Structure 1
């Protein structure tokens, strides 16, 4: 038996040993694929084609589901292939292509979360200011695609096949990872830019949703206090218009074609809610700067039906905001460990080689936890969006 055959057999055995230690990791990645494909496909089907009305609140959900579907499929499939060929990954073009598509899909998903956070901030904290129109939403998504593409393209230059040495057996394998010999300074700068962008997005998302959460709490506390005062006043004597601070205005009544209070097909509806329910001093605290809207004007009270519609409108807005907030929290939990590992990897080129087999398996699981962000969203929709839950039940009944 010649020397090359012996080395090849040793390489096969080494690769098999490494892959055997990652069987559990492959099972988890397979579950990611199944759950991601099934869950996000259902979201695309229902939100994109089944559900009618309230398109404004649900506008980004189908696009986020498409990005999540591709991200979970590409990243999890690549993870399985990478685990099976820890020391025998020999297709350089496939390695570069997978890194490009994995970066592109995950980047676009992250940018979508950022766009959604901006939209929710404008809606909750600046309801009387400029909102994201359909034109701006489409422009923002196109811009996100362009940025994701620009950030993903260098991956084909800085990533490829890397030699992986087994000093004990005297053999050399290859794995798909960051190239060590190609422009080290440029690779380090590029990695630093990626980490900086992710950290910046994380900080921005935390800031946006902190402000949103604070505003919702203030509004909720005010509404409870106002409702309690109204109950007490009504039990003592008939309510007089002059006794209530900042009585609601009917100068711009809210109307919809269907008779149901629309969530925000335009700014007038939301402005009407803000004008009629938020006092002047509260407007100043949450950022409602419009002096005309915040000026108290004497008028008659709204009918109970109209007040009920406005309360329903606010509950829907707040519920969808909570839904997107939960999605963002899961994103933060899943991505922060990945950022930490990326920093460790950038600081130590032999980071993965120096890990033990069990340590590498655990680190790979943590490194790929970001895929959980791409498969959990359908469960959040089902939990918080009652209309989505109803549509799922209808689909299941038809399938039976």
Structure 2
């Protein structure tokens, strides 16, 4: 008969074999997330300058996603491979804390991005997010996320439970412990209100973010139609506003008021390609295309966030309500959807690569310089 310690190890090995497909997927996803977010951080800290503030949140989001990716994948891997012989209670607390902080920070930061795009696209002559407001937003989001994640440093721990272990014809019930949100000292009276509040905050953030970007999406759709004259006038007005607010976050309301007084006919003439101003026309069209691509890029980031978090939340609620014990491929599928919010930390940098022309151009230049340097060294 195996000892209690040996049984823990054997149970962990059985659990690890059962979740091997999920473990492989998590490690592959973690590698993609680490590489992608690392490249974004490198580019935005050393090679790309953002004078207008349009991309202000991108490097911050990349840093948060990098932390979230590393902490989530580390926690998932340990839970899959060392479930009943977890290395340390402090490690358990730290990883859960980092997962909640990074997940909340990322989600609320995406809400801030949605708000920024809404003000730029739908309220171009209203109050915009200046450098000061953007910094205040990041600090407030960080403190808020830190506040509701901090209790996990106390709640989380190694929870003890009984498990049946079968060896040959003998079955024994052994006591095992695994990393859990509640170490067992607080119970449902504390944990249900806490996680209920987290779920409610997540749903509110998803609804608010989606609500802000719905009118932005409508505006983008209008501007993509070449037969919509009104949409072109909106773009022209926004381009004029961008020339003032993007170059100087402290532009006066008097300057913005002057722009609104420009006759629409003049704006149409200045951006009409039939006029003898081909260079100005090309510049105007390029700005419009860049703005649309950035808006579509942020739209995809928000869609990925909403889909990934909703999938995880719905799976969590279903698992909690049903309490059905799953095995085999069903267990792997359940864990896959339960951890689907990891996609939010992974997908963002690759969306930048596809849609952000400036980012892609600078990355291409950097790669070319590296290749030339290596060829000269040889």
1:375 and 2:346 correspond? yes
1:324 pairs, out of 298, 312, 320, with 298
Cα distance per residue 1:187-235 (max 9 Å; x no partner): 11111110001111111111111111112233444x6343999xxxxxx
Residue 279 of structure 1 is matched in structure 2 by none
Contact 2:52–2:246 under 8 Å retained in 1: no
1:115 Cα offset (Å)? 0.5
Residue 158 of structure 1 is matched in structure 2 by 155
Structure 1 spans left out of the alignment, 5+ residues: 230-244, 277-292
Question: Displaced runs of 4+ in structure 1, greater than 6 A?
Answer: 252-256, 267-276
1:134 pairs, out of 131, 135, 141, with 131
Structure 2 spans left out of the alignment, 5+ residues: 167-172, 272-276, 372-378
CA distance in 1, matches of 2:124, 2:231: 25
CA distance in 1, matches of 2:356, 2:4: 58
1:118 Cα offset (Å)? 0.5
1:365 and 2:365 correspond? no
1:313 pairs, out of 273, 287, 293, with 287
1:298 Cα offset (Å)? 7.1
Give the SS at the match of 1:51.
Answer: coil
1:178 pairs, out of 176, 181, 203, with 181
CA distance in 2, matches of 1:52, 1:152: 33
Structure 1 window deviating more from structure 2 (204-213 vs 385-394): it is 385-394
1:9 Cα offset (Å)? 2.3
Residue 117 of structure 2 is matched in structure 1 by 120
Task: Note the aligned Cα RMSD (angstroms).
Answer: 3.4
Cα distance per residue 1:251-277 (max 9 Å; x no partner): x97897xxxx9856448699999997x
Structure 1 window deviating more from structure 2 (299-308 vs 367-376): it is 299-308
1:360 Cα offset (Å)? 2.6
Structure 1 window deviating more from structure 2 (135-144 vs 50-59): it is 50-59
Residue 194 of structure 2 is matched in structure 1 by 190
Normalised TM-score (structure 1): 0.79
Residue 111 of structure 1 is matched in structure 2 by 108
How many residue pairs were aligned? 355
CA distance in 2, matches of 1:380, 1:120: 16
CA distance in 1, matches of 2:188, 2:240: 63
1:98 and 2:95 correspond? yes
Cα distance per residue 1:236-259 (max 9 Å; x no partner): xxxxxxxxx99x99xx97897xxx
Question: Against the structure 1 CA distance between its residues 208 and 167, is the aligned structure 2 distance closer, same or farther, given a 3 Å change threshold?
Answer: same
CA distance in 2, matches of 1:53, 1:194: 34
Residue 234 of structure 1 is matched in structure 2 by none
Bigger radius of gyration = 1
